[in-house]
Structure 1
């Protein structure tokens, strides 16, 4: 039986090629994902580990829990602690570290890096081994700075150039006096690092003689654990805590691995989809191969082969196919992993240097996926073939499915589909993460139900195309009959395309609806013409609000200022706003009371009011730092949204806090939004590279850009599933042509020319593809509505938006898939020798 199975593989190698390709693509996606993510993770982990080479023990400030009226905070690490750390017996040296966000502009004034990756810090001196100089000298004073070598090369900076920097608002233009190298992971990821002398860094980053961290290096022969123990004894435990450099490296390595897990899981989901689609092709292929070899298998049974041996022979064929596909897919996947890394580099994403990582786990996963998926898909056809009695197989009495089996299949499919719809509808009544699990379960049940029902659905849906097919005469009529001749095969072929289009359509509908909802929220909740905020999401200096409010062209402005207070024993974040102006800058629906923010009167969003049990007229005392208290009254309750929510308090009512920061500033111009108005605001802020001035259109465009980027990535990934579906259609048609060789020969003999034969196969392919496309688009619209409704449950502006233009494109894509898939089978059918075909069995 082993020799028989291997001979069958060699005999049918052309027919198994499409199956190998389908499995290979899925395996390549899996192995490519693992190679890519392992390579990137390893590169970042090695880079971050190098960054801790000079740190044996790090001393950081210990968080002081809030007590009484005082909110929690971090104490300063002062010079005395630094000196004490350096005097510990096992310490060779101690360095005080100061760091913070530092926006650096290129020569065109544009921000370098991605916001949070643009940092600044202090250069300790000529002996600072953390940042070895490649050229120039150490900086002295605020007007001198060092720039990392990667940024200098990327932006074209050299020693002697002037660079524009922004630290918490003010713009500096220091001269570059040196260039250094660093293993900092943020720089490796495309960010920038600027270094000042320690005194200047302390002043610029608001440390006033303090440090963010103290890095201590051990003397030769002193272990990190021993040095940590000595520091723990020497330093005050209520103000400091110590961590070994190895622990920091391990922690950062774990953080990097965790951050890559999301990307890995996302890519593997799409690889799984491609493999799931490929499973239909494998099952379809082996079903047709077994059907074509029914008499051969019956003869084997007649000469003594058992059912188990027949099944085993089919599984051996599947094992060989899966192994070949797994090995090939692994090789292609390694190339994909290397290509993805190079692709990131071509997009300007800087990645640390490192080797391509192919772990034993990746090799095992690739081979296991290829073999297991193929054998699982081939098991049912093999088992079905083994159960056919030899006499029945010889006379082909097994060909027709019994009425009982069809009734059982349709009943089972209807139950799955009904259960899926019910669970999905139930999930839409829930909110947030509560509905995610039911939504996923309902989607799986509904897809399984539709797949089981697809043979039943194929007849009426394909029959609907009959009037169009009649236009093509005999070819059209034959194409329709061929499409419904074997409903199960048609269903399996169409289902592969259906799943890909279900996902594509669903994501498009959901993304379009959510994007429209957020755009409506931005335009309806904001009356302000512009929103000013930091590029990295950090808080703004209060100077920004003061500068903008002083402009003649500004008719109203308000910061959204962070403030922390204790209310009824719990911390609560308050948002300070310009009370007299906030009504001119926002348009929020008030559920209760009045929208009045002045003096001691505040407004609260509906979610906070519900959780706190507040309503209009409720009074409470807010306890701020330093023992300062303020009695506040809830004047109104408004509907919060993603843009504006929380407790809004007049800034005049807030006590002066030690660290005042604004999340953003809303601005209304006297002449409305315009290019001139935006330019006026930017110039008032010294064209600061770290500050964004965004109109409502800019906000909408940024939202649209994000959704478009995500959708394009998803389209690219799901394109793999569609490609596998194309191979499935080609495979089905090619094997169908082989099965119908005698029939096609007879048609040619009675007058059907080659062009008509080609047209018949093409129309059959088109009908099957459009059938799968219609099912996929229908399911996609339903899932898009359901998931969008769940995601938009907290958005009053959410409504279903059907992108008819893209739906039309997806339907056209189905037709293109059918047309392309039919090229080779149609050509093969038209070139059959009619006499040889008539004589074939």
Structure 2
């Protein structure tokens, strides 16, 4: 039976080529993802470990209770604590680190490293007057507030040389120090395209609001002192609770775990799409083996007649599948290694240079690729093999193919209806839940399975709708419709492959378009302000900028927005500080209770969700503990409908400021006398020093900024899902090619009675078009349903969310399905038209 299976594989090389290609694409995606993420993880891990080579122990301040990004007093290691560490026996050297955001502009005023790490730190010289972490390539270390040093990659990219003036920004205002030195570094963030700026320690402490303090102290052990021994010695020397002490090995392991965790999200996402491609490929494989088995019914019957058991027949088909899967797995692995290398090169060229390192192909990657190729192919071929074994020898030798019985159709349709019903019920139930993502996901899977099972039943009425159009093409159109309906199961399986891809594409498009509409609505309905000013990095702004904005001619109202973590009833509470007199002129928040009025004193307004959770209403008195530990009671004067821009308690900055050690603004809202114009935008930018790190955004910019990540993600998903569509195209080509082979005698008869070659081509093309559009209609319909359902969950979190059906794109997707049908039919139609009619008529 093994020799028989091998002979069959070799005898049908051309027919199995597309099956191998479909499986290979999926395997290539899987192995490419594993190679890429392994390579990236290893490169970052090596880079991180290299940066910690000389760190035996790290002393860090205790965790802060302030919220993320809070400008409030940040825990730090002071100079006294550093000196205590220095005096611990076994300490060879200490390095105090201070770091924070630092934007660097190129010579044209454009921000370098935008979207990546734009960081500043301190040059901490040792006893030899040098900082071993940052060897100077050119020039000298920075000294004083008017000097900086830049990493070599940034300096070379921007064309800076020692002595040049460089425009930088830390908290808003532009600074123009001189470039004292250019250094080399193994810092992985700088290697990945970010920027690293060095100041002297005193300047860095002042800029990053750590006077006399450090973010962390790195310790090098003396010869003969182990990391663990030094850690324990430092812990004993420091006051309890004053700092946390970790070994360099622990930090390296921690960083490795963080890198692995950050890579896991990307790996999971890519694996999902690889799985989708393989899932779509299963339809193609099952179709291929079903038709191959059907074309060899007489051969299989002879095997049965000479003594082969059913199990042996099934096994021969599975052996064929195993061989095909092994070939696909091996070629997919090789292609995947190329995909992994290509992804690394692509990301390096688009987002910055990644850390250097070899291409990593782990043994698990090889085993996974081969296992996926074999398992997917064998599983897809199992059902056709089982059906082949059930064919009665006499019926097969007489070429009498037993059609599906009424009982089997009833059972199939009943099972499909149950799955579809449960899926619809699950999806609808999830729309009414607070967190129904898991329920909706399970319902969506059940519904897809149900529709797939019911697809043969759905094919007749849906394809029948195309009858009037097909009649316009005469005999070719009528034959195309009949051919599409002749084997509903095969038509359904072929169409289902395309359906899955279009379901996902359509659903994601509906969600993204609706989110965009919600964001636009948020920007236009919640804001009266013409501009929102913020840092490109979302870092806090200096209060001096708000004063500069207020002095601009044409500004009729402006308000800084501040976020501070406080406590209310022993629970954390976010306070939003605004200019109470101007805030009403800059926003238009809908109120369900009370009103905004003029915020002053201890008056505050709160969003409806928070009010519901805390049982607050207009007139409620809310006890608050400010960051400085002082307490007050706020009076709720109104309850508004929260959104992505405004949420939580809003009060006057005059009430909040006395309790803040460091004043800093998240954003500044600005309203101009003559509205948003290019001239006003330029005027504001000049008032802010033409700072590349500061964004002056109008409502359109705000909307695009919020939705940019959604658009980027959607474009990436389109690219990934394109692979599923390619596999679906291969499925249609395979089905049509085998259908032409199967109907050779029939096509010969049609040619003999007068159907010319053009008519044969038209018949095959129209059949392909009908099958593809059938899958397209199902995919778009399911995608719209899933998009609506997912939108119900999003709408619960995003109040401005509004369902939008992008009719233009939906039409484009149906057009894509039609194009798939046309392209997929080119080779099969050409093959059908070139059949010799006499040879075809004599075909057995």
TM-score by length of 1: 0.97
Alpha-carbon separation, structure 1, partners of 2:130 and 2:281: 60
User: Does 2:479 correspond to 1:474?
Assistant: no
2:794 touches 2:801 (CA, 8 Å); kept in 1? no
Question: In 1, distance between residues paired with 2:401 and 2:515?
Answer: 52
- The CA deviation at 1:64 is 6.7
1:512 and 2:513 correspond: yes
Match of 1:771 among 751, 754, 774: 774
- Cα separation, 1, equivalents of 2:115 and 2:601: 36
Superposed displacement of residue 226, structure 1: 1.2
Once the two structures are superposed, the pairs formed by residues 279-428 of structure 1 within 5 Å of their partners are 279-428=282-431
Equivalent in 630, 633, 639 of residue 632 of structure 2: 630
- After the TM superposition, which residues 187-266 of structure 1 pair with which residues of structure 2 at under 5 Å, given as runs? 187-266=190-269
Q: Per the alignment, in what secondary structure is the counterpart of residue 547 of structure 1?
A: helix
Residue of structure 1 equivalent to 2:588:
587
Shift of 1:762: 0.8
What residue in structure 2 maps to residue 45 of structure 1? Answer: 45
Residues in 2 aligned to 1:46 and 1:342: alpha-carbon distance in whole angstroms: 19
Match of 2:696 in 1: 693
Q: Per the alignment, do residues 793 and 569 of structure 1 end up closer, same or farther by CA in structure 2, a change over 3 Å counting?
A: closer
- Aligned partner of 1:27 in structure 2 is 27
Which of 830, 835, 840 aligns to 1:827? It is 830
Q: How does 1:161-200 map to 2 (within 5 A)?
A: 161-200=164-203
Q: Is the 8 A contact 2:627 2:659 kept in 1?
A: no
- Give the superposition deviation at 1:349: 2.3
8 Å CA contact 1:114, 1:190 repeated in 2: no
Deviation at 1:381, TM superposition (A): 0.5
What secondary structure, in the 3-state scheme, does the structure 1 residue paired with 2:213 have? Answer: coil
Q: Taking structure 1 as reference, are residues 656 and 550 closer, same or farther at Cα in structure 2, changes over 3 Å only?
A: farther
| Matched residue, 1:9 | 9
Q: Aligned-pair distance for 1:200?
A: 1.6
Q: Which residue of 2 aligns with 1:105?
A: 105
Bigger shift: 590-599 or 484-493?
590-599
How far apart are residue 10 of structure 1 and its match? Answer: 0.6
Give the distance between the partners of 1:621 and 1:20, measured in 2 at CA.
68
Change (3 A) 1:302 1:10: same
Which piece of structure 1 moves more, 689-698 or 820-829?
689-698
Instruction: Say whether the 8 Å CA contact 2:476–2:760 is kept in structure 1.
Output: yes
- Other structure's SS at 1:772 match: helix
Q: CA deviation at 1:394?
A: 2.1
| Deviation larger for 442-451 or 383-392 | 383-392
Match of 2:160 in 1: 157
Q: Is the 8 A contact 1:65 1:72 kept in 2?
A: no
- CA apart distance, 1:564: 3.2
Deviations, residues 301-358 of structure 1 (Å, cap 9, x unaligned)? 1111111111000000000000000000111111111111111122142211111111
Aligned residue in 1 for 2:532: 531
Structure 1 position 72, deviation (Å): 10
Once the two structures are TM-superposed, the CA of residue 626 in structure 1 deviates from its matched residue by 4.4
Cα distance in 2 for partners of 1:158, 1:364 equals: 51
Aligned residue for 2:214, secondary structure, equals coil
> 1:75, CA displacement in angstroms?
4.1
Per-residue CA shift, 1:474-528, capped at 9, x if unaligned?
1111111111000000000010011111111111011101110111011101111
1:201 CA drift (Å): 1.3
Residues 38-117 of structure 1 mapped to structure 2, 5 A cutoff: 38-63=38-63, 75-115=75-115, 117=117
* 2:487 corresponds to 1:486: yes
Shift of 1:256: 1.3
Q: What residue ranges of structure 2 are gaps of 5+ in the alignment?
A: none
Please name the residue that 1:446 is paired with: 447
Partners of 1:359 and 1:538 in 2: CA distance: 40
Report the Cα offset of residue 396 of structure 1.
Answer: 3.7
Q: Shift of the alpha carbon at 1:610?
A: 1.5
1:189, distance to aligned residue in structure 2 (A): 2.0
Kindly indicate whether the alpha-carbon contact (under 8 Å) linking 2:329 and 2:373 is maintained by their aligned counterparts in 1: yes
Task: Show CA shifts across 1:783-820 (max 9, x none).
Answer: 11111221122233222211111111111111111111
CA distance in 2, matches of 1:64, 1:384: 66
Alignment correspondent of 2:754:
751
Deviations 1:120-148 (A, max 9, x none): 01111342111111111111111111100
Which whole-Å CA distance do the structure 2 matches of 1:779 and 1:405 have between them?
26
1:740 aligns with 2:732: no
- Aligned equivalents of 2:549, 2:814: Cα separation in 1: 51
Q: Which residue of 1 aligns with 2:543?
A: 542
Preserved contact between residue 762 and residue 826 of structure 1 (Cα < 8 Å): yes
Match of 1:650 in 2: 652
Q: Offset at 1:705?
A: 3.4
**Other structure's SS at 1:58 match:** strand
Q: What residue is the counterpart of 1:559 in the other structure?
A: 560
Taking the aligned partners of 1:72 and 1:693, their CA distance within structure 2 comes to 25
SS at 1:405 equivalent: helix
The answer to whether the 8 Å contact 1:45/1:256 transfers is: yes
How far does residue 706 in structure 1 lie from its aligned partner after superposition? 2.9
Residues of 1 paired with 2:717 and 2:130: CA distance? 49
Residue aligning to 1:677 = 680
For residues 268 and 63 of structure 1, the distance between their equivalents in structure 2, rounded to whole angstroms, comes to 36
TM (norm. structure 2) is 0.97
Q: Distance in 1 between matches of 2:492 and 2:305?
A: 33
Residues in 1 aligned to 2:206 and 2:103: alpha-carbon distance in whole angstroms: 17
CA distance in 2, matches of 1:277, 1:441: 19
Q: Which residue of 2 aligns with 1:817?
A: 820
What secondary structure is seen at the aligned counterpart in 1 of 2:436?
helix
Q: Is the contact made by 1:62 and 1:74 (CA closer than 8 Å) also made in structure 2?
A: no
Question: For 1:529-587, what per-residue CA distance to the aligned partner results, in whole angstroms no more than 9, with x for missing partners?
Answer: 11111211222222222221232321111111123333223332211111111111111
The answer to which of 371-380 and 461-470 deviates more is: 461-470
How far did 1:115 drift? 4.9
Q: Which of 789, 794, 799 matches 1:791?
A: 794
Q: Tell me if 1:782 matches 2:794.
A: no
Distance 1:87 1:50 in 2: 27
Partner of 1:570: 571
SS of the residue 2:92 aligns to: strand
Alpha carbons of structure 1 residues 802 and 479: separation in structure 2 relative to 1, 3 Å: same
Shift of 1:441: 0.8
Please say if 1:660 is aligned against 2:639. no
CA distance in 2, matches of 1:705, 1:116: 16
The unaligned stretches of length 5 or more in structure 1 are none
1:707 and 2:749 equivalent? no
Distance 1:398 1:837, change over 3 A: closer
- SS at 1:336's partner residue? helix
Structure 2 Cα separation of the partners of residues 15 and 75 of structure 1:
68
Counterpart Cα distance in 2 of 1:738 and 1:812:
28
Q: Decide whether the 8 Å contact of 2:519 with 2:707 is kept in 1.
A: no
Report which stretch shifted further, 456-465 or 279-288.
Answer: 456-465
CA–CA separation in structure 2 for the residues paired with 1:144 and 1:241: 33
Judge conservation of contact 1:63–1:72 (CA < 8 Å) in 2.
no
Contact 1:766 1:818 (8 Å CA) reproduced: yes
